[in-house]
Structure formats: C-alpha cells, structure tokens
Amino acid sequence: MVLLGTLINAVLIVVGTLIGRALRNIPEKMKETVMYAIGLAVVVLGLQMGFESQNFIVVIISLVLGAVIGEWMNLDDKLNNFGHWLEDVMGAKKESKGSIAQGFVTATLIFVIGAMGIIGALESGLSNEHGVLISKGLIDGFTSIILASTLGIGVMLAAIPVFVYQGLIALFATQISLIIPDAALDMFITEMTATGGVMIVAIGLNMIGLTKIRVANLLPGVLVVGLIVTVIYKMNLG
C-alpha cells in the first residue's frame, strides 16, 4: 500500500494530539514555560536544518522572492482564515476561538516543512518502503503531544495537509523520479531543507513571542528553490 506510511504519519499526529489534550490541565505558568521551551527547541531545529545548505545564496534569494510572492498572495491570512473556518465547522466555543486556528497553522508549518516528508513519500511511492515516514510520524506524534498541551485541539487538524501533501508525492513518485534527475533532486532537497529551516526558526521565534513573522507568506520560497536549482543544474550541464 503506497499510502501506508503517509496514513501512519497522519494517525500518529491525531493520537499525539489526543494525548496532549489529556495533559491540558496544567498550570498556566507551566504552560507558558513549556511553550517557551518548545519555541527554543524549534529554533534550534531550524538552525540545524539551515546549516545544511551548500549554497546559502540560494536560500536568501528563495526567501526574498518567496516573501514577495507570499505577501502578494496573502497566504498567511488565507491559511489563518481556513483555520477559522475549521473552527466554525467544528462548532468551537467562543473561548476557544483563535486557538484552534493557531494550533492548526503552527503545527501544519512545522510538520510540512522539512526533507523527511519528501524523502519518505518518494521512498513509499518508489519501493513501497515506509520506514522514513513512520519515523517522521513518531517524531510528529511526540511533537503533537507537546504542542496540543499548549495550543489545543487545532494541532490535530494538521494531519489533513500532511496526508494530502505526502500522499500526492507518494502517488506520483514514479513520475517525479523519471522527470527529475537524482543529482537535481538531491540538490533541491538540500536547499529546500535549509530554506525550510529558516522558516522553522521564524516559527520558533513567534512561539516565544519575540516576533510576529507571517511564516506562511514565506512558503513560496520552497517553489523558488526548485526553480533556482533547475537553472543551476542546467547551467552545470552546459
């Protein structure tokens, strides 16, 4: 089953969220300190990803152009509005308004940005091996426990974009492998991971409360990475 790894990943996010909600009745001061701890850990994770770049100019250009495109498309507001729509669909209580959207947006950005999802989904689609996605699922599940204990049930909804995103890659893995040479794909994954790492740092800083960066507006940077890598690969062949 090609989608088994993706399905397990999504289910583990749901399970982690439910466990995290069981831990929600902790003192507010403890929640605040835990949130800061999570934010700091997320910043460190993002820095680690960012240092993987082999050509940081690609990362800078991708983030700048991605920010321009994202602001023009107003992606951050659209993602948040989608989160608020989900609140209405779920019949969220007045006191819960906003928290579900925040949990959904934060968790989605953390779980979707990164190389494991792409690598794991390609592995699932090409060889029906699901080890990478199951490992990612365990990491996401544990992260869901921590996030849900402070951000709420909205974290669980991140399982939907994770399933769609990774599922599509798995289903079209054969076509992707035929179109994109291995060297170009490796270069893309490296620079995409670094670019995503900078976005992860921004998420962590937002969680700590130091910044209010509209991280979703940076997401087009991932597509820009693909375009730049294509140009570099073609030039090297020339």
Residue in 140, 142, 131, 133 with CA at minimum distance from that of residue 158? 140
pLDDT tops 70 at residue 167: yes
CA distance 189 to 138: 21
pLDDT at 133 over 60: yes
Range of the domain at 54: 4-237
pLDDT reading at 198 higher than 80: yes
Neighbouring CB atoms inside 10 A of 223's CB total 14
Choose among 115, 112, 116: nearest CA to 132. Answer: 116
Instruction: Report the sign of the C-alpha dihedral through residues 77, 82, 88, 93, in that order.
Output: negative
d(CA 115, CA 119): 6
The DSSP secondary-structure symbol of 219 reads T
Cα 200 to the center of its chain, rounded Å = 8
b/e per residue 192-219 (b: at least 16 CB within 10 A) = bbbbbbbbbbbbbbbbbeeeebbbbbbb
The one-letter amino acid at 105 = V
Between vectors from CA 161 to CA 99 and to CA 34, what angle results, nearest 5°? 40
pLDDT for 93: 57
| Average pLDDT rounded to a whole number, residues 66-89 | 85
Band the pLDDT of 41: cuts 50, 70, 90: confident
pLDDT of residue 217: 92
Q: Is the pLDDT assigned to residue 60 strictly greater than 90?
A: yes
Residues 120, 5: contact at Cβ < 8 Å? yes
**% of the chain at pLDDT higher than 90:** 34
Largest Cα separation within the chain, whole Å, is 62
Looking at the chain, list the stretches that DSSP marks H as alpha helix, in order from N- to C-terminal side: 4-22, 28-50, 56-73, 75-90, 99-112, 115-127, 131-151, 159-171, 173-179, 182-208, 220-237
Question: What is the structure's pLDDT at 47?
Answer: 92
The pLDDT of residue 227 is above 70: yes
Q: How many domains does the chain have?
A: 1
